[in-house]
Amino acid sequence: MLIKEHGVLDTEQVAVLLNVSRPTAHRALDALASTRLVRRQRSESGREHRWLYLPAPDSWTPSPIDAKLPRQASSFTMRQHAVNKFFTTLADHAARTNGTAGLVKWRSQRETTAWLADSAIHDQAAAGSGIWIEDTIVLRFLLNWQASPVAGPTAVYPAHSIAEFAAVPVDAILTVVDDEYRERDAFVRVAGHPLPLVFACTTASLLRENSEGPVGTIWRTASSDRRYRLIELAGRATPEM
């Protein structure tokens, strides 16, 4: 089940992932909620205060990886919903491109944590990971969500640990922060350290306001003040080594 896999989704996100209409997704989620296979709660952000759907407490068995993840506190639920919106926006954009773009891989935080552990990287900051393809160009990325609300430590990846990611087959770490001050602070933290991949940042407001969401021209890197489209980051690794 999508909700069990990704933790918290709203009706619009389920509609995108299942490629059905929003009313169809609503009826299906309402039926699941009525049989207590999922539980729902009101969103604490935005004017709509839409319903969020989460796994029912007795509908799944926690794995050893789950024990290491933050508990389903309110702030973590909203953070996870924001992260899932990042990925479902990518999926929605891909569906409108007639096959020229695609989100071919989306790992949840749980899956990403286990995947990084296979490379001896034990870092809870990764909110997810994925593979985005656009016009035959491939970008493999980790998502680091540091915008509010955030549960747990808010520090950006420490510079000394970034080199560890050379062992992970990704091209970029994408970091979302609250504002441009924190964006500049993130680059200060990695300044002077050789990067085996692209370290790119954007702000929550740019992500929210850009009509293309994460696909759009919202990303900055440590080596430039200009903003790049998401897929342009695929060609930025070499200059930043």
164-176 confidence digits (pLDDT tens): 666 677 899 899 9
User: Mind listing the pLDDT tens digit for each residue in 101-123?
Assistant: 999 999 988 888 888 888 777 66
DSSP annotation of 196: S
In the prediction, which pLDDT does 116 show? 84
Q: Are 175 and 155 in contact (CB under 8 A)?
A: no
Assign domain 1-61 to its CATH architecture: Orthogonal Bundle (1.10)
Nearest-angstrom CA–CA distance, 155 and 145: 10
Pick left, alpha or beta for residue 65 (phi over 0 → left; psi -120 to 50 → alpha; otherwise beta).
alpha
Q: Among 106, 104, 170, which Cα is nearest to 140's?
A: 170
